Structure 1
């Protein structure tokens, strides 16, 4: 555990319903070693004390950039953490991967610009510059197992519990939480990051890397750039308490 997060302004007294503990995991991006290490920390934490209900919320961006996207999806699907309920949210990178399989010529250049080539390689698909994107998408589609397709199709865009709203990227300020557009939930940075208004819940998000977990009055950011730093972060919520687990850099 660590306590080096920034807290420029005090958070409101947000709470999780009694009897529930929530582990919230930031952007994994194909980093299987960091995921395994963080799950080991959670397993140890659960061994020390358990709540009546233990939720594991993954904030999306499981694929791209890191070397083991396919293996990360295998691990998430297997869900090795006993006595916990997983909730998997969609990130913009999962959306791009799915879109590439449907519209490779349109989406391919954008996807590769944000790390998609690493995902293709993780499935063992030979790829070289100049290869037709439609052919590459066909080859990838043959290698992606049905279990991965089902997993990607099952992802939710947000989850709300108690005084918290969990989402990949953030929300559009001033729009009711129930009426948010999926594009904003997966992609937004500004004006969300610069907003100081109350959103009706404390928004817990990833998507935008921070050097350390960042607690502000209306949001908590926990993407600590695992694929660049080796630090994968988990926010632990229980009642009014907040604490952190993280892998070592």
Structure 2
């Protein structure tokens, strides 16, 4: 393959969760590992979850927003993670349900959890998507048994995000504290992204594939075309979008895609899992002692913020 026909470089970056230093270190390692001429023109797909858990959400968003100006020849794709979706919901940035229904219709399915999760019930809650209320709520439990960590304010560990903007967790004042450029960024996040003619190195040589990037994955047993329609339309009638927040039901590639060479890449799962065409790039999971990872296509090289590069 000649230089003129080299496949495009696509870099998929996992969950950041408010850790600006990790993001800066990962970006530095990417820029020093990938040849400058290739890095400067790469497509960078951020897989979502920029906020919560870590202490510097505001700085993370500043960094991401600056990239198109700093690297004008790169292409940047910013996916919504379930945490970003909920942050945007609290700020009332989500598009209204296309069928004219109220967000409150979506509360009913999960109302048995309202007391335990301490859903937000202050200024503006009446017009808020379910996930915004959960994100800014005050959970009664102090310890997350599943993760082995203390809750940071809400079921989403949103306390550090509020604090990064200088307001206490659960405060309605966050709406005024978040800068307009951050609101625009959150409002414009896409729920799914597709790429054609993506190449990846395999044991059997270089393979040309379609790529679908979505924060958690695509559901098994649910029509893929219907899922893609909902995700592309950013259909906010749904109180909990499985492709952004699911677990076991989105781990594998749906069977109907198994006959076509389709890469599914996601973050979300606090795992680094590369198996065939299923790529899960989220080693960090928002834990302070775990790295942020990225995968580079077509080489399939994994690069982390903790990598120590030798000259």
TM tier, smaller: 0.7 to 0.9
Contact kept, 8 Å, 1:196 with 1:217, in 2: the verdict is no
Q: Whose RCO is larger (CA < 8 A, sep 6+)? A: 1
Contact kept, 8 Å, 2:49 with 2:81, in 1: the verdict is yes
Unaligned runs of 5+ in 1: 1-16, 128-132
Q: 2:56 aligns with which of 68, 75, 92?
A: 68
Distance 1:218 1:47 in 2: 25
Number of the residue aligned with 1:117: 159
Number of the residue aligned with 2:295: 235
Q: 2:168 aligns with which of 126, 138, 143?
A: 126
The alignment of Structure 1 onto Structure 2 pairs a total of residues equal to 221
Distance 1:68 1:99 in 2: 20
Number of the residue aligned with 1:7: none
Task: Give the Å deviation of 1:97.
Answer: 1.0
Q: TM-score, normalised by structure 1?
A: 0.80
Contact kept, 8 Å, 1:20 with 1:52, in 2: the verdict is no
Distance 2:223 2:295 in 1: 25
Q: Which runs of structure 1 show a deviation greater than 6 angstroms over 4 or more consecutive aligned residues?
A: none
Distance 1:242 1:76 in 2: 23
**RMSD of Structure 2 on Structure 1 (CA):** 2.5
SS of equivalent to 1:214: strand
Q: Which has the larger radius of gyration?
A: 2
- 1:52-91 aligned at under 5 Å gives the runs 53-79=41-67, 80-81=70-71, 83-91=73-81
1:194-237 alpha-carbon deviations (Å, 9 max, x no partner)? 56736341211111111xx2112341111002531331101000
Unaligned runs of 5+ in 2: 93-102, 104-119, 122-132, 140-152, 197-209, 232-240
Contact kept, 8 Å, 2:268 with 2:285, in 1: the verdict is no
Q: 1:45 aligns with which of 27, 30, 33?
A: 33
Contact kept, 8 Å, 1:43 with 1:81, in 2: the verdict is no
